[in-house]
């Protein structure tokens, strides 16, 4: 089985071909990604209109290259998968429409993929783990702790009630005058700084449940930066180190709460999986490695190239769903919001 995956939900245009071996393991035959960092750097963040236009300009060539590198022709594919949300709606429409067109032209099955589900299932591509497992998804737009029970079967244990983790990193970087994208810059500065200089708050620490809150921490950073302005290079490094230390403490505490909730209903997880762009942060990885060891858990963090947005995770999710007979028709609409656990979303928003 070989599936083409297309990803255009934010500011990476990506296309990949992934195969399924006879033994059931995934094989990444190609994984092409075109970053838009240069286009958005001047604005300090992603501009949706620019992102959508950039996807239109490169997607056809990127898909062609992914097929060529994989040495696979369109007619020999077993399915076409495209991210249908959640994300910036203009970009989502570009990739989804392109995927539908290919499926229509070739008569191949079409799979509309939830971008969050793709992150959730990546560890099965890289490590072949079994269900159920505990997922920490931390990215620019999403921060969630999820019990991954099966394909299409998810129970959300915690989420952010305000800012996403990656968003908080980017906003702190912006207020300190660091270049975009901010997350890697904050980590780089933190390596040179003193994490004990500023005693920033640890929101939600030791509270019941597994929800996150990051807006108060972000505000504390802003107030401290304003208090000691003008900022010297050492001040920036110390703020970044202290901010990152606070984030790490919060993550470990919230994962601990999620693990308790997981065990209460789903038993012992086969692993703790970390996914999303923020999973590339070394301090977070090291802290979770220690936590997993203390908790008797296997920690799985996919390679950095598969933590950030990519087409391989979309293609693999297409394979996971296709082999279960879960396909979609060409009327499937793009979704700017698409929660993994619809029931949790309703409860969290106070809806019936």
Determine the pLDDT at residue 127: 95
Determine the pLDDT at residue 351: 31
Strand ranges, E, within 94-252: 110-114, 133-138, 143-150, 153-159
**The two domains 2-122+305-348 and 132-297 share their CATH topology (first three levels equal):** yes
Total residue length of the chain: 352
Determine the pLDDT at residue 38: 75
pLDDT at 352 over 60: no
Percent pLDDT > 90 in the chain is 87
Average pLDDT over residues 71-83: 98
- The string of pLDDT tens digits covering residues 12-53 is 999 999 999 888 889 999 999 998 777 877 777 788 888 899
Assess if CATH 3.30.420.40 describes domain 2-122+305-348: yes
Specify burial of residue 169 (Cβ count, 10 A radius: 0-12, 13-18, 19+).
buried
Average pLDDT over residues 243-260: 98
- The string of pLDDT tens digits covering residues 143-185 is 999 999 999 999 999 999 999 999 999 999 999 999 988 999 9
Residue listed under structure tokens 């952010």: 160
Write down the domain spans for the chain.
2-122+305-348, 132-297
Pairing of strands 110-114, 133-138: unpaired
Q: Give the residues across from 57 on adjacent strands.
A: none
Q: Say which CATH class 132-297 falls into.
A: alpha beta
Residue listed under structure tokens 């309703």: 346
> How many other C-beta atoms lie within 10 A of the C-beta of residue 109?
19
Determine the pLDDT at residue 344: 78
Q: Which of 101, 123, 99, 119 is nearest to 111 (CA)?
A: 99
pTM reported for the whole predicted model: 0.94
End-to-end CA distance of the chain: 41
- The string of pLDDT tens digits covering residues 263-294 is 999 999 999 999 998 999 999 999 999 999 99
């Amino acid at each position: 089985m070989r599936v083409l995956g297309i990803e255009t939900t934010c500011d990476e245009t990506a296309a990949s071909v992934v195969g399924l071996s006879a033994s059931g393991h995934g094989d990444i035959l190609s994984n092409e990604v075109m970053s838009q960092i240069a286009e958005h750097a001047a604005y300090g963040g992603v501009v949706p209109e620019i992102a959508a236009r950039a996807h239109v300009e490169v997607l056809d060539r990127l898909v062609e290259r992914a097929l060529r590198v994989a040495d696979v022709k369109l007619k020999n594919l077993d399915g076409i998968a495209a991210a249908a949300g959640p994300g910036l709606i203009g970009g989502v429409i570009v990739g989804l429409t392109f995927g539908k067109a290919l499926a229509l032209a070739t008569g191949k099955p079409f799979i509309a993929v939830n971008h969050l589900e793709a992150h959730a299932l990546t560890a099965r591509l890289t490590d072949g783990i079994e269900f159920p497992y505990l997922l920490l998804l931390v990215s620019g737009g999403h921060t969630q702790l999820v019990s991954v029970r099966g394909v299409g079967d998810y129970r959300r244990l915690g989420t952010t009630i305000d800012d996403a983790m990656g968003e908080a990193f980017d906003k702190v970087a912006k207020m300190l005058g660091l270049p975009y994208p901010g997350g890697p810059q904050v980590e780089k500065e933190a390596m040179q700084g003193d994490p004990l200089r500023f005693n920033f708050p640890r929101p939600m620490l030791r509270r019941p449940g597994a929800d996150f809150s990051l807006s108060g921490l972000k505000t504390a950073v802003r107030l401290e930066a304003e208090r000691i302005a003008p900022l010297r290079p050492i001040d920036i490094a110390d703020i970044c180190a202290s901010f990152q230390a606070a984030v790490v403490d919060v993550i470990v505490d919230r994962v601990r709460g999620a693990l308790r909730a997981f065990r209460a209903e789903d038993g012992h997880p086969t692993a703790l999986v970390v996914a999303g762009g923020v999973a590339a942060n070394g301090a977070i990885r090291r802290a979770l490695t220690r936590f997993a060891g203390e908790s008797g858990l296997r920690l799985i963090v996919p390679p950095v190239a598969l933590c950030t947005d990519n087409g391989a995770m979309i293609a693999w999710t297409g394979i996971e769903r296709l082999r279960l007979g879960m396909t979609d028709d060409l009327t499937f609409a793009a979704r700017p919001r698409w929660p993994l656990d619809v029931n949790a979303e309703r409860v969290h928003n106070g809806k019936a």
